[in-house]
Every structure is written in C-alpha cells, then in structure tokens.
Structure 1
Amino acid sequence: MTALDLTQDPVALTAALVDIPSPSHQERALADLVEQALADVPFVRVLRRGNTVAARTERGRRSRVILAGHLDTVPIADNVPHRLEDGVMYGCGTVDMKSGLAVYLHLFATLAADPDLAYDLTLIAYECEEVDSQYNGLGHLAVSDPEWLDGELALLGEPSGAIIEAGCQGTLRVRVTTRGQRAHSARGWLGDNAAHRLAPAIQKVAEWQGREVDIDGLVYREGLNVVKLESYVATNIIPDEAYALVNYRFAPDLTAEEAFGRVERHLAGFEVTLEDAVAGALPGLEKPAAAALIRTVGEVRAKYGWTDVARFAGLGIAAVNFGPGDPAFAHRKDEHVPVSQIRRVAAQLRDFLTTRPT
C-alpha cells in the first residue's frame, strides 16, 4: 500500500484517506500508514495504542492545541474509492470525517517544525468512534495515557460546514415499559393490552416543552422523542408487555443525572428505566485559544448532537468541532464534501495556529 504524504495538498490527502477502507474495527491498515507518516515528521513524539495513533510537538510554547479526529467510517456502501466531480469529492468518509482528519494531519506535519507555530500541537487519530463508546480509542487513550489529552484547546474534525460548532448536547435514552395481561385476540376483553397502556406515555412525550438555553450567546435547543416502539407476541395475541425507547437531547448546562431527573418527573406514573446517558459539553469560549480561533474563523454556533468534545470538557479542556462537510450527508451512500471547504478549513486553521496569542 502506498505511503501517505502528509505534506501534500489537503484535498489530495483526503482522497488518499478515503481510498483506504477503514470501517469501525478495521482501521489497522490506515493506522499503520498514519503511524509511519507521523514517524517521518521531524522533532515529534509518536504513540501507538491499538489502532489509535498520536503525535506531539515539544516546542516549548506557552499553550497546547489538540487536533483530534477518528480514523473509522461507517460500513462502505459501494462508495470507495473516491470520486471528484465539479469541485465536489464523493466517497465514504469524505464528510465524517476523513476530510477533517486530512486537514489536521497536513497542518500537524507542515507546522511541527515551522518557526511561526504559535502553539505546541498534539495530533490524535483514533479508532472506533462510530460504534459503542466502550471501543472508542480516544476514551481508551484518556485512561492509558491521560497526559496526551492535556491542552488549552481541543479541536475535533467533525463536519461542521467549515463553521465552529461549540460544545455539544448531552444525550440519554430511557425505556418506558407498560404491562398487561395476555389473551386471545378473539376474546380481547379477557386480557389487558399493554400496547394500549403505552399510548398515554407516548402522548406525554409528545407534550414535552423543550428548553432553548442560551450559553455564551449560543442557543441549544432540547428535544424529547420516541425513537422505538415494540409490543408483539403473535398476530392473534393481546400483548402483555410494551415499551418505548425515548431519547432526550439536553443542553450542556445539565448533568446527566439532572437530565434524567427531568425525564422521570415528566413521565411520573410510568415505569422508566435509564439505559444510557452522557453529559454534553459547555462551549468554553472564554479560553484565550478558543477566542483566538473564533476571531480567525468569524462564525460560531451551537453543536446539536453529541461528539467527543464532551470527553475533553470532562477533563476541563475547552473543545470545539471544526471541520469541512455538511453533517447531514454523513453516513449516506452519496456522502460528499465541497473541496472548497477543505481548503477553507485548512487556511483558517493555519492562520490560527501561526498567530501568536495576545
């Protein structure tokens, strides 16, 4: 397999990354090439943990910026290798998030020894972001080598349309269960239909009034929604159990515990079980490095959805999402990114990383 040239144009590097298949749990080939390429960057330390690769400069700068992005993609859907048409690159991972990772790898490699570099840099290319959190390489690195996640500001190359998306929402999932009595559907009056008992709970969820929370001038809009319904025994049996999975996307001013408490109170009287919950991340825009990035890019908005910025926020590190691509096209068969956005993010981020903080 051809070696990666991290110094080449970020658009060409994006194409090279896309053409190396790396669905979740299958990142080894790409991780090997990234590790080899980073080892050729002068005056940096390189770390390998599983299929997560990290590198850092030691230039003695006053502040450190972390550039992080995941190596994995969702399963390929007949969309590799890449295709370039009319200034748009198509292919698996072009949006989520090999274009962002290409920009970060390119800037790390070309600025590591540059005398104009204003911050020390840490680059983290990690495995298994697109699957269950137990496999997340960034999470594993935080446990095995926590010093590698230390910095003033962390940037995640998540697709954000070349606009800074600050913080992120928290998310939790609860199971609402109702119970009844089985009976033959021909004699339904002898039973108690659990699915019918679920209807008031669904209506209660529909009546939820989500908050719009302003944090540092960014508005996070909350939502409570049923995402799955199930109740079935057989086509001629009244079901004796039914459940709904309900997802709450909450503003980062709440802890996961506080968010669950709000859902419990709203669904009082129903059997509610917490299945999963992770807190969001506050914007952290008051940090000098974050403010400097905003001055360079010029546009910032709230992040709807959960990303790994929350891991950094949990460590007290300001973190934002900044990468090319429209997240609405992530995971789609026609996933694509305008090459102009790749170049825009690369240029703006280079300006930021070579401008001395005041």
Structure 2
Amino acid sequence: MADTLNLAADPVELTAALVDVPSVSGDEAELADLVERSLRAQTALEVVRLGNCVLARTNLGRPKRVVLAGHLDTVPVNDNLPSRLDGDLLHGLGTCDMKGGDAVMLSLAATIEDPVHDLTFVFYDCEEVEAVRNGLNRIERELPEWLKADLAIVCEPSNAIIEAGCQGTMRIEVRAKGVRAHTARGWMGVNAIHAIGDALRRLETYEPRHVDIDGCVYREGLQAVKVEGGVAGNVVPDAAVLTVNHRFAPDRSPEQAEQHLREVFAGYEVVVTDFSAGALPGLHTEAAQELVRAAGGTPVAKLGWTDVARFAALGVPAVNFGPGDPLLAHTQQEHVPVNDVRRCREVLWRFLSRG
C-alpha cells in the first residue's frame, strides 16, 4: 500500500484505491491512517484525528460553512475484493457504500483552492453497525464545533441526485397474552398466537401516507418483520409477540409516530424497542438552494434513514448526495458507475469553488 493517496487523481482511481484497503466496521484504522497521511501531505487544511475519525477543514473566514461527511467502514467482505473496473462500472466492496463518496470528498479537499464557503470534511467510522458505535457520536461529544455548519452534505449513494431529508424509523413489539392449556383440551386455554391474528389483519389493510414536503414525497410504511410464540407441540401458547417496523415521514416526531402506532394497535400491549427521528428536507436555506442549482434536476425524498438525521438534530440542514445506487449497498454485486463519481465531483466543485 502506498504511503499516501494521490488526491489529485481521477476520483474513479481514488475510489479504487480506497476500496482496495479493507475497512470492515471496527477495523478502519489502516484506511483512516492512509486518509490522514494523505490529507496532511497534500492539503493546507487543518487536520484532526479522533479515534478512527479523520476531520479536516478550512478556516478562511467565509460567512458560511459546508460540511461534507462520509463513513470509512463497510459491511463484511463477501468475495468482492479487490476492486475491478469493467467498462463504465467499478466493482467491489464499498464502491457504492460509500467509498465513491469518500473519494469525491478527498478530491475536493485537495483541489478546491478558493472555496465560496468554508469547508469541513468528516470521515468517520462504524456507520454500518449499531448506532451507539457511530463515529459521529464521538465527534459530537468531543469536537462538537466540527459539526457546525450552514449545510451538511452526506455523500451516501443517491444515484448522483439530491435526496433531501430522510424518513424516521421505529420498531415496536405488539404483545398478546393468553392462557396455557393442553392442546387436547384447547378450549380451556386462550391461544395468544391466534390473538395476534387481528394485528396482522390490521397491517394487511393499513394504508400508509404519502407526504409531500417541499416538493419531496415521503412514502410511509408499516411492516411486520418478526413473529414469536409457542411453548411446545402440545401446548396452547400463552404469549406471542409481533415485531413491526414503521418508516414515517419527517413531519412526524418519534412521539407522534408512537402515538399513531398505539392507535393502530389499540387493544394490544405496545412496546417501543428502537427509534430514530427523521430529517426534514432543509431545502429552504440559501446554501441548499445553491447546491440544487448546481446539481440541476429536482431533489427527491430519501426513503430510508441516513446520518442526515444526526445533522438535522443539531440544527444543520442536510441532504444526501453521492455516487451509486443505494439498492446495491451491502450486496455481493456492489458497484458504482464511473460517471456517477465524476458527476458528483463536478457538481460539488461547481457549488463550492470560485473557479
């Protein structure tokens, strides 16, 4: 492995170089070292290392600041390393999620000499695992000033178009209780699994909202993802649990989403096991409008949850904008179109540079 990356290279070549350094969640140190050395050697940016997070920024006194953020980690290797260029597609683990976006960020860090806005580049670890390990948490606790900005761009794959905001997510357990009995005398018991049936029927007839916010349409969803119950092959079960995942539009708070679910499953015990708030589009700000003009086209809603929500919670408007199809993330066939990588770099250069 080279001591440093050539940050001025074609961002597609830079993507391949990043992909060829394995960085499964929790094992990002080698790649973080390489990114840190490269930024210190090839840019005039202020650079800080925090664990396996690498942060860099300009301090030019511009009236606005833009944060560009990308995670360094990937899901486990699935016979998809090293990278492989096949025509207009670069294949390999992390090409889409999200080393193509990281490469765009590094290219911009090294080549924009006179930015319109002050810039902060945030490369962080452990995005692909449980939220408590996410490197943005550590940055928020220990270096919160590094996340302050007028706009944040999370370079997750978005098919090289602006995806605004994101959905919230909530998981609940819908619990039913019964009375045990021998199945030979089933009438003496109450079958909890049978009792869950009505909750499943409510899901079958549920009509999710489609919510238009700033021209972005968020499609809500309510899905059963797990059913548990049963004691033995000859026992009427006295407990059953249905796990449901709700994806809700960002006009709902988690509290409002919970209240909605309690109404849907009235009569059942409902226990919230996990939730993350969504993020409103944030397209009304001046900086966001500048980005939209640079990108052309029409922004769309992000159908899913991303770290834009972390920035929104800090009061920073945020969007997703990066190369690659998010549907390919975590698949063995993961790849990124080279034109996506170059387009994202071109759009962000146009937005950020005076040149």
- Fold match by TM threshold 0.5: yes
Matched, 1:66 2:67: yes
Which ranges of structure 1 fall in alignment gaps of 5 or more residues?
Answer: none
Identity of aligned residues (%): 54
Q: Is the 8 A contact 2:69 2:155 kept in 1?
A: yes
Residue in 1 aligned with 2:319? 320
Alignment length (residue pairs): 353
Q: Secondary structure at the match of 1:151?
A: coil
Residue in 1 aligned with 2:179? 181
Residue in 2 aligned with 1:333? 332
Residue in 1 aligned with 2:51? 50
Pick which of 198-207 and 184-193 moved more: 184-193
Alpha-carbon displacement from aligned partner over 1:306-330 (angstroms, at most 9, x marks no partner): 1000111111111000001011111
Q: Is the 8 A contact 2:7 2:42 kept in 1?
A: no
Q: Secondary structure at the match of 1:6?
A: coil
Q: Secondary structure at the match of 1:143?
A: helix
TM alignment of 1:1-358, pairs within 5 A:
1-3=1-3, 4-111=5-112, 114-115=113-114, 117-299=115-297, 300-355=299-354
Q: Secondary structure at the match of 2:275?
A: strand
Alpha-carbon distance between aligned partners in 2 of 1:39 and 1:265, rounded to the nearest angstrom: 55
Question: How far 1:237 moved relative to its partner?
Answer: 3.0
Whichever residue aligns with residue 58 of structure 2, its letter is: T
Q: Secondary structure at the match of 1:227?
A: strand
Alpha-carbon distance between aligned partners in 1 of 2:309 and 2:319, rounded to the nearest angstrom: 9
Alpha-carbon displacement from aligned partner over 1:279-303 (angstroms, at most 9, x marks no partner): 1111111111100110011121010
Alpha-carbon distance between aligned partners in 2 of 1:14 and 1:241, rounded to the nearest angstrom: 51
Question: How far 1:331 moved relative to its partner?
Answer: 0.4
Pick which of 231-240 and 297-306 moved more: 231-240
Q: Secondary structure at the match of 1:97?
A: helix
Q: Is the 8 A contact 1:61 1:118 kept in 2?
A: yes
Question: How far 1:235 moved relative to its partner?
Answer: 3.2
Alpha-carbon distance between aligned partners in 2 of 1:240 and 1:337, rounded to the nearest angstrom: 50
Alpha-carbon distance between aligned partners in 2 of 1:42 and 1:26, rounded to the nearest angstrom: 26
Alpha-carbon distance between aligned partners in 2 of 1:225 and 1:277, rounded to the nearest angstrom: 15
Pick which of 290-299 and 182-191 moved more: 182-191
Alpha-carbon distance between aligned partners in 1 of 2:222 and 2:75, rounded to the nearest angstrom: 26
Q: Is the 8 A contact 2:70 2:124 kept in 1?
A: yes
Question: How far 1:266 moved relative to its partner?
Answer: 1.4
Alpha-carbon displacement from aligned partner over 1:136-184 (angstroms, at most 9, x marks no partner): 0012211111100011110001110000000001111110111112333
Whichever residue aligns with residue 81 of structure 2, its letter is: V
Q: Secondary structure at the match of 2:240?
A: strand
TM-score by length of 1: 0.96
Q: Secondary structure at the match of 2:100?
A: helix
TM-score by length of 2: 0.96
Q: Secondary structure at the match of 2:43?
A: coil
**Aligned-residue CA RMSD (Å):** 1.3
Whichever residue aligns with residue 13 of structure 1, its letter is: L
Q: Is the 8 A contact 1:67 1:104 kept in 2?
A: yes
Q: Secondary structure at the match of 1:244?
A: strand
Q: Is the 8 A contact 2:171 2:272 kept in 1?
A: yes
Question: How far 1:355 moved relative to its partner?
Answer: 4.5
Question: How far 1:46 moved relative to its partner?
Answer: 1.2
Q: Is the 8 A contact 2:65 2:118 kept in 1?
A: yes
Alpha-carbon distance between aligned partners in 1 of 2:71 and 2:84, rounded to the nearest angstrom: 21
Q: Secondary structure at the match of 2:54?
A: strand
Q: Is the 8 A contact 1:176 1:243 kept in 2?
A: yes
Alpha-carbon displacement from aligned partner over 1:227-280 (angstroms, at most 9, x marks no partner): 111113333333221111111111111111111111111111101001111111
Q: Is the 8 A contact 1:170 1:279 kept in 2?
A: yes
Alpha-carbon distance between aligned partners in 2 of 1:109 and 1:188, rounded to the nearest angstrom: 73
Q: Is the 8 A contact 1:206 1:225 kept in 2?
A: no
Q: Is the 8 A contact 2:171 2:246 kept in 1?
A: yes
Alpha-carbon displacement from aligned partner over 1:94-135 (angstroms, at most 9, x marks no partner): 111110111111111211xx13x2111100000011111100
Alpha-carbon distance between aligned partners in 2 of 1:5 and 1:232, rounded to the nearest angstrom: 59
Q: Secondary structure at the match of 1:340?
A: helix
Alpha-carbon distance between aligned partners in 2 of 1:219 and 1:257, rounded to the nearest angstrom: 21
Q: Secondary structure at the match of 1:11?
A: helix
Q: Is the 8 A contact 1:52 1:127 kept in 2?
A: yes
